[in-house]
Structure 1
Amino acid sequence: MAKTRNAAENKAAKAEAKAASKAAAKQRRSQLWQAFQMQRKEDKRLLPYMIGAFVLIVAASVAGGVLAGGITLYLLIVLGVVLGALVAFIIFGRRAQKSVFRKAEGQTGAAAWALDNLRGKWRVTPGVAATGHFDAVHRVIGRPGVIFVAEGSPARVRPLLAQEKKRTARLIGDIPIYDVIVGNGEGEVPLSKLERHLTKLPANITVKQMDSLESKLVALGSRMGPAAMPKGPLPAQAKMKGVQRTVRRR
């Protein structure tokens, strides 16, 4: 009886997991379709670029297959269709991402949102310091070391950056500390290029050192309360966070 009961429970658990997986896949497809429809309405060049890339790749595959002849023709056609669809999907993802960053540019909390979407092993602590004008400094721990990312008025965030660097340096010793101000002025990093800027920094510490560093800095705490975190409006397409990650996985 016990074996029968266990078998039934296992079967029910598998069926439930399968149903949950199907529901999640359906939700991702729905998100992608909504994102595509939104982007298509705003970006008139999206469809021509996607269709053009697909047609060019398929045409090149067919031409190569005709020259090769035999069964290679059919194999190259299938390969061309798959590759063309993939490239079209990548074009959609890139243009949708650019649109999101363009809308987020200059909005309160945009840098924190962009850091939350970083790919890779980054440890992000938003709002370790802020002003009453919603200027904020966010702390990022990565292979380069500690990076402070500031958003808001450069005149107001520079003193914050200096203070955070000073009190952090006392705790972490020789580990490198970098600072970035997000913006479009001289010496600033545009929001759309923030991730690229961080990934270009040299790797100075190991992942194990990152874990130890994170523990130390958590103990350091923050000089601001939760109410001081910028809560300004992010663009509507910022809700596409899950969609962007789906695009990246593919």
Structure 2
Amino acid sequence: MAKTRKPGVDKAAKAEAKAARKAASKERRSQLWQAFQIQRKEDSRLLPYMIGAFVLIVAIAVLIGVLVGNTFTYVTLIPLGIVLGLLVAFIIFGRRAQKSVYRKAEGQTGAAAWALDNLRGKWRVTPGVAATGHFDAVHRVIGRPGVIFVGEGSATRVKPLLAQEKKRTARLIGDIPIYDFVVGNGEGEVPLSKLERHLTKLPANITAKQMDSLESRLAALGTRMGPSAMPKGPLPPGAKMRGVQRTVRRK
């Protein structure tokens, strides 16, 4: 017979869980506020755009209420306009903050790996499947399109790496499509800020079950360098990387 939990224990557990949720929510709000303050100082257009969008949406809601002439509609549209205005203002903040982050990361070592790790959706990312001692790297992504190799660094050094990875992967996966491109601002390259959009535009060629099977097969290939040798995020220009580069060369 199952033991019944004491009411006092249940009450204490619920109170503890509630306190944890409150603390987590408070921390998220604090982080969001800090991010807003940083972005506001760096982006002089942020507040005018947010306030302008909010005022415009509320004004449209009020105008529709006045034109309709119905008291109930008028009273309903004002709160709705305020909520929609706040939502649009928040979306504007998120978009501009994201652009700012990508702009700062552009051209920095490890930026592509960082962007891939933050992809939304069911992507299977393996950073640094191949690299050079100069921190040119190839990252592997498995998704509905198939296998995608993303290179970052000097195009002249990365392209041979991409060709090698495509060749050894094709032997293992057969007819599953393989895509490859280099992240950068040169001709034929994909800018970092458009990386996620570029991936989502690729056609869906395989199912989720095929992705699982593909991931298991490609795990046997391993990598030519340990993921720990890759920087955990974009490295600023001029950062000291000699020790990390030695780690890459030893792999």
Calculate the TM-score normalised by the size of structure 1: 0.90
Range with greater deviation from structure 2 (128-137 or 14-23): 14-23
Summarize deviations over 1:29-65 as a string: whole Å, max 9, x none: 0111000000000000000000000000001101111
Summarize deviations over 1:125-178 as a string: whole Å, max 9, x none: 000000000010000000000000010000000010000001111111110000
Q: Which runs of 5+ in 2 are unaligned?
A: 237-251
Q: Work out whether residues 183 and 190 of structure 1, in 8 Å CA contact, stay in contact via their aligned partners in 2.
A: yes
Range with greater deviation from structure 2 (188-197 or 21-30): 21-30
Q: Work out whether residues 141 and 147 of structure 1, in 8 Å CA contact, stay in contact via their aligned partners in 2.
A: yes
SS in 2 for 1:220: coil
Summarize deviations over 1:81-133 as a string: whole Å, max 9, x none: 00000000000000000000000000000000100110100000000000000
The Cα shift of 1:76 comes to: 0.5
Q: Which runs of 5+ in 1 are unaligned?
A: 236-250
1:86-235 matches, within 5 Å, as: 86-226=87-227, 228-230=229-231, 233-234=234-235
Range with greater deviation from structure 2 (83-92 or 9-18): 9-18
Q: Work out whether residues 66 and 74 of structure 2, in 8 Å CA contact, stay in contact via their aligned partners in 1.
A: yes
In structure 2, the partner of 1:57 is 57
In structure 2, the partner of 1:45 is 45
SS in 2 for 1:118: coil
Count of matched residue positions in the alignment of Structure 1 and Structure 2: 233
The Cα shift of 1:229 comes to: 2.0
In structure 1, the partner of 2:73 is 72
In structure 2, the partner of 1:246 is none
CA distance in 2, matches of 1:210, 1:10: 42
In structure 2, the partner of 1:32 is 32
The Cα shift of 1:12 comes to: 2.0
The structure in which a higher percent of residues are helix is 1
CA distance in 2, matches of 1:38, 1:225: 34
Summarize deviations over 1:5-36 as a string: whole Å, max 9, x none: 53322222222211111111111101110000
CA distance in 2, matches of 1:177, 1:12: 54
Counterpart AA for 1:208: K
Q: Work out whether residues 107 and 232 of structure 1, in 8 Å CA contact, stay in contact via their aligned partners in 2.
A: no
- 1:203–1:211 CA distance, 2 compared to 1 (3 A): same
Identity percentage of aligned residues: 84
The Cα shift of 1:66 comes to: 1.1
Q: Work out whether residues 136 and 230 of structure 1, in 8 Å CA contact, stay in contact via their aligned partners in 2.
A: no
SS in 2 for 1:89: helix
CA distance in 1, matches of 2:227, 2:115: 19
- 1:202–1:226 CA distance, 2 compared to 1 (3 A): closer
Counterpart AA for 2:109: T
CA distance in 1, matches of 2:222, 2:175: 20
CA distance in 2, matches of 1:46, 1:141: 36
SS in 2 for 1:178: strand
Q: Work out whether residues 127 and 227 of structure 2, in 8 Å CA contact, stay in contact via their aligned partners in 1.
A: no
Counterpart AA for 1:60: I
Instruction: Calculate the aligned-residue CA RMSD, in Å.
Output: 1.4
SS in 2 for 1:185: coil
Counterpart AA for 2:167: K
- 1:66–1:226 CA distance, 2 compared to 1 (3 A): closer
In structure 2, the partner of 1:7 is 7
